[in-house]
Amino acid sequence: MARHIAHRLVISLPVLLGVLLIGFLLLQVVPTDPATVSAGPSASRADVEAIRQQMGLDKPLWMQFGRYLGRVLQFDLGRSMISNRAVSEEIALTLGPTVELMLACLTWAAPLGILLGTLAARRHGSWIDRTIMAVSVMGVSVPVFWIGLLLIQNVGGAGWLPFQGRDGPLWSLAGLKSIILPAITLGSVFVGPVARMTRTSMLETLAADYVRTARAKGISDWRVTMHHGLRNALIPVVTLIGLQIGFLLGGSVVTETMFAWPGVGRMAVGAITSSDFPLAQGAIMILAVGFLSVNLLVDLLYAWLDPRIGTARS
């Protein structure tokens, strides 16, 4: 187990370094000279030069990268070029809504996907199975923005539910109402993959010897499905759901932008289109680091759920 954790951490390190390098490069393409900006318009050339030395901008790039790493470790990601607020502050404001949206999506889409996948596997080959699989292929193929547009047009346009922004925290009625449409949009593309994964895993489990033994013992069909089948089938499904977080992240960037949801994804897109490099750097970095941490957690969860994984590698 310890070896497994170490192995995962070692793999994550180059990825993290790559993320930081991208963040650093982003700050290099800023068209204005940071030293001139911070010296102010009335500064002499000697003053600008002094500030350049003070900021370390005369040093070679790799040394500047080192300084950058030091600053990032202290959560100093620079200032937004548009709002002039600290990037870390902007991230702190937007991270909550993004996590909220993802959780709201998972709470309905994951159980529904697992239910549909189990049903399809139980009735393997029947019309129920074929219908569920057809729907899930459609779910994997539909552009998430189309679902959003349809909901905005038909539900939001009719005035039934708000579709612009976040009206408050989740525990308030207004906040709850404003998250419904974004959560449906994001979750609709997630049900299909979860249903497919559950079905495959369930089919494998139901073919196992211990399931046949359970059936031979005369245990009811329903109990066999739930206790012997689903409980074992869920182990890979949990990991696969976790690994699909990256897929979900893509959907959430689009969903947040469409519904003006004040999350990290919308902030990243806004920063890129308005050339706010420090903010774009911070947003991309936090998305990447968040994704890496979730992956790591899921992997460890898998090793904990199924001890064979940890021992097989060492």
Partner 1 sequence: MSELAVELPDSSDPRVRSTALKRIFKDPAAAAAALFLFAIIVAAIIAPWIAPSDPYANNLRLRLCPIGGARCSSLLLGADQQGRDMVSRLLFGLRSTLGLGFTAVIVGGGIGATLGLLAAYYRRLETPIMRLVDVLLSFPPILFGLAIAAVIGTGLGGLVIALCITSIPTIARISRGIAQQVMQQEYMEAGRAAGSSDLTLLWRYLAANCWPVIMIYMTLQLGQAILLGAALSFLGLGAQPPVAELGSMAADGRKFLTLAPHVSTLPCAVIFLVVLAFNVLGDALRDALDPQLRQ
Residues that bind partner 1 (CB under 8 A): 11-12, 14-15, 18, 22, 25-26, 29, 134, 137-138, 140-146, 149-150, 152-153, 157, 200, 236, 245-247, 249-250, 253-254, 257-258, 268-269, 271-273, 277, 280-281, 283-284, 287-288, 291-292, 295
Three-state DSSP state, 77: coil
107 or 153: whose CB is closer to partner 1?
A: 153
Q: What's 78's DSSP letter?
A: -
d(CA 264, CA 250): 12
Three-state DSSP state, 86: strand
179 or 254: whose CB is closer to partner 1?
A: 254
- Nearest-approach distance from CB 110 to partner 1, in angstroms: 18
d(CA 25, CA 61): 10
39 or 303: whose CB is closer to partner 1?
A: 303
- Nearest-approach distance from CB 284 to partner 1, in angstroms: 5
Q: Helix crossing, 231-243 with 173-206: angle to 10°?
A: 120
Instruction: Report in angstroms the alpha-carbon separations of 268 from 94, 103, 123, 273.
Output: 10, 20, 44, 9
69 or 150: whose CB is closer to partner 1?
A: 150
- Nearest-approach distance from CB 243 to partner 1, in angstroms: 9
- Nearest-approach distance from CB 249 to partner 1, in angstroms: 5
51 or 205: whose CB is closer to partner 1?
A: 205
In 10 A of CB 287, how many CB atoms? 23
